[in-house]
Amino acid sequence: MAFFRKNVTKSREIKTKESRETEVVTKPKVAKVETIKPKPATPKPKKSSTVISKGIRVEGNISGGDFVQIDGVLNGDVTAPNVNIGMNGSVHGVVKADSVIIDGKVKGEVYSKELEVRKTGQVTNKIYSSNIIISGIIIGDIVSDNLIRIAKDGTIEANHVEGKRVVINGNIKRGMIIGEDVIEVEPDGKITTERLESKRVVVNGKIEGKITASELLDVGRNGFVQGEITVKNIKTQEGGRVIGTMVTYEEPKPKVEPKQLESSIATEMSLDDSSEDIIDTKLA
């Protein structure tokens, strides 16, 4: 009996081994997945910048680079795509850039596409820019081929201010103001001018001087206009005031150039001479 049991146990062991072997064989093979390592990102080129720190004085011109920050003093011209002049910064020279932000002082001309003169900013010379926002002080002429916006804190002392659209909510103390399309004087706007001209003049603030509106003078309820007024049409809301002399606007006649005038006179004289010759021939 003992011998029989041993045989049984052996047969069971053999069976279990065979079953294990079959299990190992029947297990599906797992395919190895190749992990693709991400390529390192190519570093973007850093924009070059030039900084003149507070307390530093630079003698000479600065040109090139993407960005120039001036918190010290520059005695010279600066030319770059972007120029920022901090509250403690000052430039004694010409500034040329696509974008200019001024919190400090510039004693020189400014040429740009976009210009912002903030509350603490000051420019003493001419400005030539496409779009201008002024919250500081400008002592000099302003010329734009698009927009001039003078904010509430802005103060202008100029001989000449000219743009396509001029929006004034600050103070213009003197000078001539020309708006190609429109001049808008907002509620806090105060203007004293030798001459103000535009197609449309919209007044919700105060103007004193000589005013010409070739299409329309629109005086709002808070508007005040005083001086010599030349208009084609006028619109005044209740509460608006207009004081002074008023003349109807007439389109200016085309000026005859001296050369054209001389040629026309010469033509008339030649015609007169030829007619006299004809008369003399007949009499003969």
**Residue 87 bridge partners (DSSP):** none
Q: Is residue 119 part of a domain?
A: no
How far, in Å, are 56, 83, 91, 243 from residue 64 at the CA level?
20, 11, 16, 54
Report field, pTM of the whole predicted structure over 0.85: no
* CA neighbor of 84 nearest in space, from 107, 72, 68: 68
**pLDDT tens, residue by residue, 57-92:** 999 999 988 999 999 999 999 999 999 999 999 999
Mean pLDDT, rounded, for 36-45: 51
Per-residue pLDDT band at 112 (split at 50, 70, 90): very high
Q: SS3 of 164, please?
A: strand
CB 235 within 8 A of CB 218: yes
226, two tokens: 């005083």
Please name the helix (run of DSSP H) or strand (run of DSSP E) that holds residue 9, with its range, or none.
Answer: helix 2-26
CB 212 within 8 A of CB 206: no
Domain count, the chain: 1
User: Mean pLDDT across the chain, nearest whole number?
Assistant: 83
Q: Is residue 157 part of a domain?
A: yes
Position 41 scores a pLDDT of: 47
Task: Please calculate the CA angle 100-103-128 and round it to the nearest 5 degrees.
Answer: 35
Q: Is residue 109 part of a domain?
A: no
**pLDDT tens, residue by residue, 127-140:** 999 999 999 999 99
**Inter-residue long-range contacts of 184-188, CB under 8 Å, 24+ positions, other chains counted:** 185/223, 187/222, 188/152
70, two tokens: 């001036």
Position 45 scores a pLDDT of: 46
Position 14 scores a pLDDT of: 45
Q: Is residue 228 part of a domain?
A: yes
Mean pLDDT, rounded, for 36-63: 75
Q: Is residue 234 part of a domain?
A: yes
Position 28 scores a pLDDT of: 53
Name which of 16-30, 112-126, 255-269 the model is least confident about.
16-30
* CA neighbor of 117 nearest in space, from 92, 135, 97, 143: 135
Q: Is residue 202 part of a domain?
A: yes
* CA neighbor of 149 nearest in space, from 103, 106, 182, 195: 182
CA 186 remoteness from chain centre: 20
> What is the C-alpha separation between 116 and 102, in angstroms, rounded?
6
CA 206 remoteness from chain centre: 26
Q: Is residue 193 part of a domain?
A: yes
Greater pLDDT, 55 or 21: 55
The residue segments making up the domain with residue 142 are 126-248
241, two tokens: 């005031």
Mean pLDDT, rounded, for 175-191: 97
- With a pLDDT cut of 90, the percent of the chain lying above it is 70
For the cut 80, the answer to whether the pLDDT of residue 176 exceeds it is yes
Position 17 scores a pLDDT of: 47
